[in-house]
Structure 1
Amino acid sequence: MKDFINRLYRNHSLIYKGLLFICTTVLIVYLFPKSGKFKYSFEKGKPWQSENLYAPFDFAVKKTESEIDIEKQTLINNAVLYFDLDNTVESKVKSIFKNKLKNDLSGSFSSIKPSVLNIVGKEIISELYAFGILSENYTFPSDKIIAILDGREKKYDGFFSNLVEQGEITPIIDKVLVKHGLTSFKTNFVALFFDFIEPNVVLNKSFTDKVLQDELAKIVYTRGSIEKGTLIVSKGEVVEGDKYQALKSLQSEYESQVWSEASYNWVLFAYALLVALVLLMLLLFLRKYRETVFENNTKVTFIFFNISLMIFITTLVVNYDSKYIYIVPICILPLVFKAFFDARLGLFTHVLTVLLLGFIVPNSYEYLFLQIIAGIVTILTVSELYKRANLFISVGQITFIYIVAYFAFFVIHEGSVETIKWQTFIWFVLCGLATLFVQPLIYVYEKLFGLVSDVSLLELSDTNSKLLKELSNKAPGTFHHSLNVANLAEASANEIGANAMLTRVGALYHDIGKMKNPTFFTENQSTGINPHDELSSKESARIITDHVINGIEIARKNNLPDRVIDFIRTHHGTSIVYYFYMKEKKDLIEVDKKDFSYPGPKPFSKETAILMMCDSIEAASKSLKEPTSTKIDAFVENIINKQVKEGQFLNANITFKEIESIKKVLKRKLANIYHLRIEYPE
């Protein structure tokens, strides 16, 4: 049991990656659309590229969306409006008029015979309540069909124009009065009837909507069927009209049948295999070409998280409306990976992610082509991401590539530009603007995952930062030495294509440990007193080598990134404090080299190897007397060759060719620093 636990502990990193691999695969497969894939590819208006296609089973041909929309709109336009009738209102109004005729009409209508007045009043009431008076005004068209409901029974049908609205009461009264030659009494009649006329018809919205929904539910979404074995389309035949609709119906039926309960697990398993294959390729790439990234579980998690995030966002957009698919800023992915890692890893991961997105998006070939081309442009154009202008220029180039590629695809598909969808270009512009979000996103990732980008390195390179100011105050000689080393290291890194910004920052902070005992280092001894004179060689060597440990402690307290701390740890490798070692050797026959050696480790990257060379060259160059180009060349060769001979660069991925290039840069820089001057007359 103990051996098993020990084995688990030793392999915990690989176990974690395995679990991460499985979890990411499951998540991505879960996000995939729950449907099978039709094995044929076709486009409207284009020739059928495959062999003659016969119906593999009986299936119904679906109507087009436009046909269904027309049917729905026709039903909505012809839908009957149902109104509830209050049949007590009319008799109530007649009763009120009858009472007024007996008691209250002597003054206003004294010149009209009561019999005539009775006839006119009843006729006005009959006209108003022939179909009914509306309780409120509606905006329905006049020819809209209506039905009047008296309780549960339909009383009569008609048009909406038959109903009387509030504003039509006066014209109806006027029409009856004209008929009987009583127009001079219009004001009196209007005043009379407005006192007791009441609406008796109200719209029954719930019943009207229910009837309409029942009618919409009866819509048939198919138009005929195709039997098994029937020829659907021949090779080379143009896919359009009924053939296109038959193919779309077959595709829909095929996908629904494939993703049936019986084959659900098989299709799911097939998706999982493909996703696992893609993620496995990524892990193998990291294992073979980016071993430092592969060994770091945080970085592997970061890569898998970003892939899953892009697939998640794209799935949300496709589920909402696939026409917005190009708004998703996929090019953020290579930008982020280039900021934290390198261009090759960024492009490789981007291509794999786009391949996975091909399962989700419509027109997958067009999408894959556009996104891969845009990713390549992103990698090739974006350099020095910390410079804001570079990002804006790159985003403009990415947007331009999107537009050009989409335009070309559209012309190929349609054969003209007359029907081009200009709004799609707006989506590309919005995608470009969304890509600018990469700057705050990088900052968030730095805090969440503890990574370091060039933006953070730029901030750290500021000599007015708290730590570098403290170094310049406590150890001014060391600070000046660090600046010189930074200049040499940056030039060397640029020469061989290493990360110049990282190298410069590492050089600026590599000797911060000397702040603890600044006077024990010759560059800070301004008084001419050497405190090492009072110490033994072993004690002096320990103080000198401890500046590496002290530097790591100070860096940790000031939250410097691990990538910068690596320079502090490795800038002396496992070399010996030669001066005190030789001094001790004079006094003793046997001397333990470990007492005079730096703790290491040796440099394990191009950048840390560059710093080791430049640090040694700059420090030793102070001892050059009457330097000439010959002396400088021999001086550089001797120091770097000694480091190579000691095996200090065995763990760094740096070649002999690159070391020779660095030597040339250092020789040139030292020659410029120690250039000879002519003597000026006094």
Structure 2
Amino acid sequence: MKKINFKNFLNTLYQNHALAYKIVLFIVTAFAIVYMFPKGGHFKYEFHNGKPWQYENLYAPFDFAIQKSEQKIDDEKKNITLNKKQYFTSKEGVIEKVKSEIENDLTDKSQDSILNNYNIPRIVKYSNNLISAIYKYGYINESDVNRVEDKQLIALRKGNTISDLVFDRFLTSSEVNKYLENNINDSRYKSLSNFLIPLLKQALEPNIFFDEELTDKILQDELNKISYTEGLVTENERIISKGDVVEGEKLRILNSLQKEYLSQVWNQSNYNWIVFGYVLLVALNLLMLLLFLQKYRPFIYENNTKVTFIFFNIFLMVLLVTLVVKYKVDYLYVIPLPILPIIIKAFFDARLGFFTHVLTVLLLGFIVPNSFEFIFLQIIAGIITILTVSELHRRANLFISISQITLVYMIAYFAFSIIQEGNMEKINWQYFIMFALNGVLSFLSLFLILIYEKTFGLVSDVSLLEMSNTNSKLLRELAEKAPGTFQHSMQVANLAEASANEIGANAMLVRTGALYHDIGKMLNPKYFTENQTTTVNPHNELSPKDSAEIIINHVIDGIELAKKHRLPDRIIDFIRTHHGTSLVYYFYKQQENENPQDLNVEDFSYGGPIPFSKETAILMMCDAAEAASKSLKEPTAQLIDDLIEKIVASQMANGQFMNADITFKEIQIIKKVIKKKLNNIYHLRIEYPE
């Protein structure tokens, strides 16, 4: 019994493998995003410098210290660093060493003729007095002279004692030389100056040295003593009233309360609850995306590769922002977030691109500082991206669009800065450089699009441009085997492209789809009137039902051909939807007249699905209109107008545009374009004289 249940479970899992994959993808993405989130809570109040307090009166929930501003702490550190005391060390034993060396030198040279008339012990005593006078305050190392300014108070360490001295009391090497020359030349030993001065210069050595290690240690101790707080807010003390402007002291107190919350309220004991809250919010965010796809983009929702692609791009943006916030938050606005809507729009549509961008920005609001400002700037940038970026195969268009996005970034940030600071003096102009870098990096979208095309098997406008080349293998084959169908496809492509341009749809996509929509007719070209060059009609040999089957099968044959030649799904969508669920009306009526008892509507109906985008709806209208216009023996403007109205009205009545996300106004515009184009095609030419 257990084996049977397990087998049933496997069968159920296999039948619902697509749903199971989405559930796994949903869970993995949600936990991956939460893993990157900062593991701490969020202060429940949003406030900004220079803006009114929007909440009720706020009272201190507990005692807390007021944190000093970063500027004040930096000023204190700079002041301590600038006024730090320099520490010098007196080297012990130098005086005794120099005196001993001089005494030994004089004793060794006592037999020299220059010293014959002098008492050596008295010269030694005189030299020792000079040495003692020089070392009374100290002889400083020449390389340490520039360590301090003139007359600055320094600290001198002798053994275990430290005393303060004025720096200029130390003698330098030049001052020592001058001192020796002046004293010896004014003494009774003037005649020995050429002997004594070099002797003493050679023996004397500095005994005062800069003590960098001690100086740095004392400085660090002073910096560590800086207090990061000033003042205290007691429990239940009013911090700010509703409507008060958040600035100055109130801003510092609010910042202090926020930091205190982060350090006290959110700790390890409630870490799991915080993670649980993040999981719920991220899961809700991703669920909204899945529900949107299921309701408004079912063809994307049913394709797990496309769903994976969208989730991957969301995760990639969250990862980039997380890394920058963690390691170098100052460069937050260098991250080219507009790449996300550009890519989603390139592969799918503008509405999905903007929806995905907004959900991603809301997720990033948990990570970034100044979340309100960040979310506002990024959503505005996303709107401009969706409105301006089009026809990516034209690089000039992308350059203009990204320039506009960058400009909007700068204007929005400038406005925020003025509101928060109250003037232009404190604007951080480096942000404008970052916005410019953001724009430059946004051009990476073209590179990413090429990678995604190969990785996920998607198609963009750049690929569509290549596919729309009529010299491609499949279109050349269509032109050879079914020249009439090829000409029909060209005409439909022109009509569809013009219509798409008028209503703001993807003109390159609908043109390419139109070129390939009838490739299935290559297999039986003579059964389609546009390819019949003689009066012989092969349908005369068939029953209406068989004829209808051949006509209907050109859609299925087209799908198989497209898959064989690896055409992307976006193009195959045009093949499978260009007739929707409509009737093969001619043979249906023929069967109704000849054998009504054996009449089954399903035998004469295309299998669908009906169009599910503006582009596929445009193709359906243009295809039917172009084909029907060939039946007009003497086309006039009125006949063409009536024909188009009748065709489109019939398609609407049969519910062919129910899922196409197209408005009545857009349908009216498309009809006008088709009428105008067909009138231009069938207009009467003047008769030239022979």
Shorter-chain TM band: 0.7 to 0.9
1:259-658 aligned at under 5 Å gives the runs 259-320=266-327, 322-465=329-472, 467-468=474-475, 478-495=485-502, 497-512=504-519, 551-552=558-559, 555-556=562-563, 558-571=565-578, 603-615=611-623, 617-618=625-626, 625-629=633-637, 632=640
Indicate if the aligned counterparts of 2:485 and 2:530 stay in contact, CA closer than 8 A.
yes
Unaligned regions of 5+ residues in structure 2, if any?
1-5
Work out which of the residue numbers 663, 674, 679 in structure 2 matches 1:671. Answer: 679
Tell me what 2:180 maps to: 176
Q: How far apart in 2 are the matches of 1:464 and 1:394? A: 31
Q: How far apart in 2 are the matches of 1:424 and 1:645? A: 56
Tell me what 2:3 maps to: none
Partner secondary structure for residue 34 of structure 1: coil
* Residue 508 (structure 1) shift: 1.9
**Which residue identity is paired with 2:572?**
I
Tell me what 1:25 maps to: 30
**Which residue identity is paired with 2:366?**
F
Q: How far apart in 2 are the matches of 1:235 and 1:612? A: 60
**Which residue identity is paired with 2:77?**
K
Change (3 A) 1:513 1:78: same
* Count of paired positions: 675
Tell me what 2:17 maps to: 12
**Which residue identity is paired with 1:673?**
I
Work out which of the residue numbers 90, 94, 101 in structure 1 matches 2:106. Answer: 101
* Residue 564 (structure 1) shift: 1.1
Partner secondary structure for residue 65 of structure 2: strand
Partner secondary structure for residue 280 of structure 1: helix
1:87-126 aligned at under 5 Å gives the runs 87-104=92-109, 113=118, 115=120, 117-119=123-125, 121-126=127-132
Q: How far apart in 1 are the matches of 2:81 and 2:177? A: 35
1:145 and 2:154 are equivalent in the alignment: yes
Deviation per CA, 1:515-568, whole angstroms, max 9, x where unpaired? 678788776788x79997999899999988776566545544554321112233
Change (3 A) 1:604 1:427: closer
Deviation per CA, 1:186-215, whole angstroms, max 9, x where unpaired? 776564455455555655544554444344
Q: How far apart in 1 are the matches of 2:49 and 2:666? A: 57
1:214-233 aligned at under 5 Å gives the runs 214-233=221-240
* Residue 259 (structure 1) shift: 0.7
Identity over the aligned pairs, expressed in percent? Answer: 57
Deviation per CA, 1:117-164, whole angstroms, max 9, x where unpaired? 5355434544555535538547421436344354xx347664655666
Indicate if the aligned counterparts of 1:541 and 1:577 stay in contact, CA closer than 8 A.
no
* Residue 250 (structure 1) shift: 2.1
* Residue 236 (structure 1) shift: 5.6
Q: How far apart in 2 are the matches of 1:518 and 1:322? A: 64
Q: How far apart in 2 are the matches of 1:465 and 1:283? A: 37
Change (3 A) 1:123 1:133: farther
* Residue 628 (structure 1) shift: 4.2
Deviation per CA, 1:230-282, whole angstroms, max 9, x where unpaired? 34445566655544433322221123222122333333333333333333333
Q: How far apart in 1 are the matches of 2:241 and 2:683? A: 83
Deviation per CA, 1:267-305, whole angstroms, max 9, x where unpaired? 333333333333333333333222223323333333333
Q: How far apart in 1 are the matches of 2:379 and 2:224? A: 45
Deviates more, 1:633-642 or 1:279-288: 633-642
* Residue 80 (structure 1) shift: 5.4
Partner secondary structure for residue 145 of structure 1: strand
Indicate if the aligned counterparts of 2:325 and 2:367 stay in contact, CA closer than 8 A.
yes
**Which residue identity is paired with 1:680?**
Y
**Which residue identity is paired with 2:157?**
I
Tell me the TM-score normalized by structure 2.
0.80
Q: How far apart in 2 are the matches of 1:108 and 1:174? A: 27
Indicate if the aligned counterparts of 1:306 and 1:333 stay in contact, CA closer than 8 A.
yes
Indicate if the aligned counterparts of 1:128 and 1:169 stay in contact, CA closer than 8 A.
no
Partner secondary structure for residue 567 of structure 2: coil
Q: How far apart in 1 are the matches of 2:98 and 2:37? A: 68
Partner secondary structure for residue 269 of structure 2: coil
Q: How far apart in 2 are the matches of 1:205 and 1:300? A: 62
Unaligned regions of 5+ residues in structure 1, if any?
none
Q: How far apart in 2 are the matches of 1:249 and 1:232? A: 11
Tell me the TM-score normalized by structure 1.
0.81
Indicate if the aligned counterparts of 2:90 and 2:156 stay in contact, CA closer than 8 A.
no
Tell me what 2:40 maps to: 35
Partner secondary structure for residue 262 of structure 1: helix
**Which residue identity is paired with 1:94?**
K
* Residue 175 (structure 1) shift: 1.2
* Residue 431 (structure 1) shift: 3.2
Change (3 A) 1:105 1:340: farther
Deviates more, 1:398-407 or 1:647-656: 647-656
Alignment RMSD (CA, Å): 4.6
Change (3 A) 1:640 1:278: closer
